[in-house]
Amino acid sequence: MIRAENLTKRFGEITAVDGLTFEIPVGQIVGFLGPNGAGKTTTMRLLTAYLPADDGRAVVMDLDVAEHPLAVRRRLGYLPENNPLHENLEVTDALHFIGRLRGLTDETARTARVKAVVKTCGLGSVVGRRTGELSKGFRQRLGLAQAIIHDPDVLVLDEPTSGLDPNQVLEVRDLIRELKKEKTLLLSTHILSEVQAVCDRVIILNGGRIAADGTPDELSGSLQNKNRLHLSLKGPAEGIRQALQGLPGVAAVSGPSGSGEADGRFVVESEASVDLREEVFRLAAARGWPVLHLSLERLSLEEVFRKLTASSEGAP
């Protein structure tokens, strides 16, 4: 569990993190989304005891970060954006080194843990090679392995797929999904597809403040003035149109008309708070009209992001 209460950080006259309050429950993947300079990395550094907060409070697994920084660090794994690695160490030696730093002093137990994270992170094919010889993708995998070597409860990942090619991005995303089964994850990114691919929830930051918080679908729906339901029913066009117009909450219906069979799609508009999918399905079933297509139009996450962040500048 991660909790921030009015978390604030200033650098001189610049407020990088401005009174953030949020909570991440156990077992959830949350994505920090925002433009460059929105405060994502600074917030992560506050949560991981890398930087002290000027105001507010951060709590990780019921431990106050300011009061118990070492205990907090023992409970979490942190992959910073620059992914610092010792270039001249062999892969397993690097993991043993971090394991010892993380308190895994028993060699037998540490060796077993190294083998486990090598398997989890897909590093088997590069065992025996030095870190400096690894591709960017394998370096990210090694960074993740170092972050989980001590089996932490919480993972904080800053731009985990930055600089990777498309195949490497998919591999790291799959790994993050696997880690979700056992960990609470917070990751930052400015890549919209990243959030949609792996996150249960999105916190959009802008100028050091929370601009929005919710699932991708919730954020898409919250910024629309109306819902548009796209559907295709097999039946008399005019009869379908009139029946749809008679449903409660319908503002407008467009699509095929006339006495013939419907051969195109209807678009049914309603207020943003009204979801007509269930009512339409019941109507079609009662009239014997086969449903060929039914989908609710939402704003894309890209459109949500643009609306929330276009009007103001991010904080450093």
- Report which of 74, 50, 64 is spatially closest to residue 4, judged by C-alpha positions: 64
Of the residues 221, 252, 287, the one at which a domain ends: 221
User: Which residues, in sequence order, are CB contacts of 138 under 8 Å at separation 6+?
Assistant: 123, 126
Q: Does residue 308 lie in a domain region?
A: no
Strand, helix or coil at 74? helix
Of the residues 174, 198, 221, the one at which a domain ends: 221
Which pLDDT belongs to residue 23? 94
Average pLDDT score over residue span 35-60: 93
Q: Does residue 314 lie in a domain region?
A: no
Tokens linked to 41? 């990395």
Of the residues 192, 221, 250, the one at which a domain ends: 221
Task: Please identify which residue in the block is written with the tokens 């930087």.
Answer: 51
- Kindly tell me if the per-residue pLDDT of 223 is higher than 60: no
Which pLDDT belongs to residue 54? 96
Q: Does residue 309 lie in a domain region?
A: no
Average pLDDT score over residue span 262-288: 84
Same domain for 262 and 199:
no
Same domain for 234 and 144:
no
Tokens linked to 218? 């919730």
User: Which residues, in sequence order, are CB contacts of 45 under 8 Å at separation 6+?
Assistant: 51
Same domain for 213 and 147:
yes
d(CA 80, CA 158): 5
Average pLDDT score over residue span 286-315: 73
Same domain for 114 and 44:
yes
Same domain for 105 and 36:
yes
pLDDT tier, 315 (very low <50, low <70, confident <90, very high otherwise): very low
- Kindly tell me if the per-residue pLDDT of 107 is higher than 60: yes
Q: Does residue 286 lie in a domain region?
A: yes
Same domain for 266 and 206:
no
- Kindly tell me if the per-residue pLDDT of 312 is higher than 70: no
Q: Residue 244 in contact with residue 280, Cβ under 8 Å?
A: yes
Same domain for 253 and 162:
no
- Report which of 2, 71, 73, 10 is spatially closest to residue 42, judged by C-alpha positions: 10
Q: What is the C-alpha R_g of the chain?
A: 25
Same domain for 16 and 116:
yes
Mean pLDDT over all residues of the chain? 87
Same domain for 276 and 215:
no
Q: Does residue 315 lie in a domain region?
A: no
Same domain for 230 and 160:
no
pLDDT in tens, 115-163: 999 998 889 999 999 999 999 889 989 999 999 999 999 999 998 887 7
Average pLDDT score over residue span 201-225: 80
Give me the number of domains the chain comprises. 2
Same domain for 259 and 172:
no
Which pLDDT belongs to residue 314? 41
Q: What pTM, to 2 d.p., does this model score?
A: 0.72
- Which structural domain, as residue segments, surrounds residue 28? 2-221
Domain of residue 261, CATH code: 3.30.70.1340
Domain of residue 91, CATH code: 3.40.50.300
Same domain for 229 and 214:
no
Tokens linked to 267? 């678009």
